[in-house]
Amino acid sequence: MPDYDAIVVGAGNAGSAAAITMASKGLNVLLVDRADPPGAKNLSGGVLWGNDLSQILPKWQSEAPLERFIDNKKIGFLTEKSSITIDFKTKYFDENKVGHTVLRAKFDPWMAKKAKEAGALVIPGITVDSLAIKDRTVIGVQESGDTITANMVLLAEGVNPRLSIEAGLRKPLQDRELSVGVKEIIKLSPQKIEDRFNLSEGSGMASEYILGNLGELNIGAFFYTNKDSISLGIVSPMEELRKNGVTHTYDLIEMFKEHPSIAPLIEGGTVAEYGAHLIPEGGIESVPQLYGNGYMILGDAAGFAFSNGLVLQGMNYAILSGIMAGETAVRAKSMNDYSAKSLSEYEKKLNNTYVLKDLKTFKDIRKVTGNPKMYTVYPQLLEGILLETLWERGQPKKKVRDILSEAAGKMNMSKVKTLTDFYNIYRRM
């Protein structure tokens, strides 16, 4: 008889959500994480959209260690001297309060605690050496020479899924499937944050940028307000960094911080934390076989993250995939069937959610986000149009079409290629 109904490897958002789902239905669950406290090695922290979390933790908004609810969302382009931003504030955010900034060092231990309260055995500080496999079926995990058995193993091991790769359950990751995120936490008083961003007590701002001031590199950036700190950083495709060879991520984040529109927002702040983390960005093509005899793969380990150049999300995808895997495990337990056929229900469930629907809808988004013009020519083009339109210099006014034509001419932009780019953006975004 196996030691557990299910072993969950990784106490991030996906793993804890799966453990809560299964334990609350009476399954005997072991949740292990290599960090102590659980999730301490998880760096990402941005906006948690908690619609799905409500399914398993209805009181999360009053109980979780949240920072600020989002009532201001910004999307922008930066050039060397300018910031071009869409600034969106709405009462819809304020009335619903489902989007909150979080710090993973606080949020992940809370999720693991909730898994323990639901009935799971949570053991932090455990590094699983390998999967235990017999007759092409995953039957547990191996740690320090011991084999711990289970009817199912749920692999929520994060963006670098070593166990899955070593067991041959998925292919090794390629540079094109990954980005590097570099993040800083900058301490500022709540009063300064609220004054600088025109926020009320408890409300917050989240913004994402395309950086058009870094030459040929395709770099994005983020900026989020917490209770008494700012989370900011850059996201760079691994392929870009490797190809460039001379540009370092710590230089890129400094260039972002020194931009004339960003520097005043963090003035007087103190860097409290600094770190880097891989981000899955391979899209639907990077999603492996999600299930097999005795196992399921979820969260970042399955490549469940979304980015279209303007929005970067992953926590909600992880949580929902954890819930779907947990529900599949509960069903498998009721039938006493842990075969690939039984666990295929996991993928069927995901196909009916936004997790796989989004990845399929935006399967060609890299043709937009990987276009160098998005980070060079087009931010400069927008800057030129706005300067001609909004900057009074005592000269005759021009029609927008003439401004656009002149700006494109100065940059030697082909009309055919530009129209093709715009058509691709329209189709894929």
CATH number at residue 292: 3.50.50.60
Tokens matching residue 97: 């309060």
Record the pTM: 0.92
Answer with the one of 254, 280, 306 that is the final residue of a domain.
280
Domain residues for the domain of 416 are 376-428
Tell me how many degrees the CA angle 46-52-54 measures, rounded to the nearest 5. Answer: 105
Do 24 and 125 share a domain, yes or no?
A: yes
In this prediction, residue 341 carries a pLDDT of 98
Q: Is residue 82 part of a domain?
A: no
> Do 29 and 167 reside in the same domain of the chain?
yes
Residue 83 in any domain: the answer is no
121: which strand partners?
Answer: 30
Instruction: Classify residue 136: in a domain, yes or no.
Output: yes
**Same-domain check for residues 151 and 229:** no
The answer on 43 and 161 residing in a single domain is yes
Instruction: Look at residues 249, 280, 311 and tell me which one is the last residue of a structural domain.
Output: 280
Q: Specify whether 128 is located in the same domain as 32.
A: yes
Any domain includes 84? no
Does 314 map to a domain?
A: yes
Do 40 and 16 sit in the same domain of this protein? yes
Q: Indicate the DSSP class of residue 141.
A: E
Q: Are the C-beta atoms of residues 369 and 308 closer than 8 Å to each other?
A: yes
The answer to whether residues 317 and 201 belong to one domain is no
**264 and 196 belong to one structural domain:** yes
| Whether residue 191 is found in the same domain as residue 301 | no
How many residues make up the chain in this entry?
429
**Secondary element (H or E) of residue 280:** strand 270-280
Nearest alpha-carbon partner for 422 in 361, 381, 363:
381
Whether 77 contacts 379, CB under 8 Å:
yes
Q: What are phi and psi of 290, to 5 degrees?
A: -85, -10
**Within this chain, do residues 397 and 347 fall inside the same structural domain, yes or no?**
no
Listed residue (247, 220, 339) closest to 291, CA to CA: 339
**Residue 202 domain-assigned?**
yes
Q: Are residues 220 and 331 in the same domain?
A: no
How far apart CA 138 and CA 281 sit, in angstroms, is 27
Question: Are 334 and 224 contained in the same domain?
Answer: no
| The residue type at 127 | T
User: CA-to-CA distance for 198 and 91, rounded, in angstroms?
Assistant: 15
CATH number of the domain within which 242 lies:
3.30.9.90
Specify the amino acid at residue 413. Answer: M
pLDDT tens for the chain, residues 1 to 429: 899 999 999 999 999 999 999 999 999 999 999 998 887 777 766 899 999 999 999 999 999 999 999 999 999 999 999 999 999 998 898 888 889 999 999 999 999 999 999 999 999 999 999 999 999 999 999 999 999 999 999 999 999 999 999 999 999 999 989 989 999 999 999 999 999 999 999 999 999 998 887 777 788 899 999 999 999 999 988 888 887 776 788 889 999 999 999 999 999 999 999 988 888 988 899 999 999 999 999 999 999 988 876 677 899 999 999 999 999 999 999 999 999 999 999 999 999 999 999 999 888 777 766 677 777 777 888 888 888 888 888 888 777 777 767 766 766 666 656 656 655 655 555
Closest CA to 318 of 108, 93, 75, 123: 108
Report if residue 342 sits inside a domain. yes
**What is each CA distance from 257 to 17, 95, 269, 418, in whole angstroms?**
35, 32, 11, 31
Last residue of a domain, one of 249, 264, 280: 280
Query: How many domains does the chain fold into?
Result: 3
